[in-house]
């Protein structure tokens, strides 16, 4: 089975604590994919040719996203960092990328998953430990990655597109 996704990977220099949390508390997810914000899910990538054209012609500055405190989800099993502002620029970016593919893309909340509930379980003790980490208040995303997963293995980058408003 082949899956595609558009992703904003975190810069490893900006996200050492995020990766530490993922490695310690969610090692399976850590092995499958690096820390990221999902930009477009596989069910939205209906026309990869049009998608690539949109990405190649995209005029959009690097995305600076601010984050709130960690939150639990999925009956407390998972943990994520929510984007606390600038959500409108995230949605505008999505609409630009999906133009001509999906006229009215759904809105989803941008976030960084620290513990995915599919393959980890957060406890009150773990959640307190996560809250004690020095997590970033903002991150800057400078490129979009088109990624692929084959048969449940590690996600791999197919192509990257630099965010640049001067094209």
- pLDDT tens-digit series, residues 114-157: 999 998 999 999 999 999 999 999 999 999 999 999 999 999 99
Give, rounded to a whole angstrom, the gap between the first and last alpha carbons of the chain.
36
Query: Residue 103 above 90 pLDDT?
Result: no
What is the mean predicted confidence (pLDDT) over 32-60?
95
Give, as one character, the DSSP assignment of residue 44.
G
Decide if domain 2-162 falls under CATH 3.90.1140.10. yes
- Beta-carbon-side half-sphere exposure of residue 28 (alpha carbons within 13 Å): 8
Q: How confident is the model at residue 27 (pLDDT cuts 50, 70, 90)?
A: very high
Q: What is the pLDDT of residue 80?
A: 97
Flag whether pLDDT at 167 surpasses 60: no
Q: What is the pLDDT of residues 62-102, one digit of tens each?
A: 999 999 999 999 999 999 999 998 689 999 999 999 999 99
Read off the pLDDT band of 158 (50, 70, 90).
very high
Find the helix packing angle between 87-97 and 48-56, rounded to 10°. Answer: 120
Residue scoring higher pLDDT (136 or 13) = 136
For the chain, the residue count is 167
CA nearest to 110, candidates 63, 154, 145: 63
Contact 67, 138 (CB under 8 A): yes
Residue extents of the structural domains in the chain: 2-162
* Residue 145 confidence (pLDDT): 98
User: Model-level pTM?
Assistant: 0.93
The answer to whether residue 55 scores a pLDDT higher than 80 is yes
């Amino acid at each position: 089975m082949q899956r595609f996704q558009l992703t904003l990977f975190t810069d490893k220099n900006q996200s050492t604590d995020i990766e530490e949390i993922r490695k310690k508390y969610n090692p399976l997810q850590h092995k499958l994919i690096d820390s990221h914000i999902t930009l477009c899910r596989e069910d939205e990538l209906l026309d990869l040719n049009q998608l690539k054209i949109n990405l190649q012609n995209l005029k959009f500055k690097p995305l600076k996203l601010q984050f709130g405190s960690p939150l639990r989800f999925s009956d407390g099993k998972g943990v994520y960092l929510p984007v606390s502002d600038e959500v409108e620029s995230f949605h505008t970016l999505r609409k630009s990328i999906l133009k001509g593919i999906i006229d009215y893309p759904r809105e989803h909340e941008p976030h960084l998953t620290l513990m995915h509930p599919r393959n980890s379980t957060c406890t009150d003790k773990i959640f307190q430990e996560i809250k004690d980490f020095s997590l970033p208040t903002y991150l800057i995303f400078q490129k979009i990655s088109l990624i692929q997963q084959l048969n449940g293995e590690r996600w791999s980058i197919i192509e990257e597109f630099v965010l640049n408003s001067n094209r």
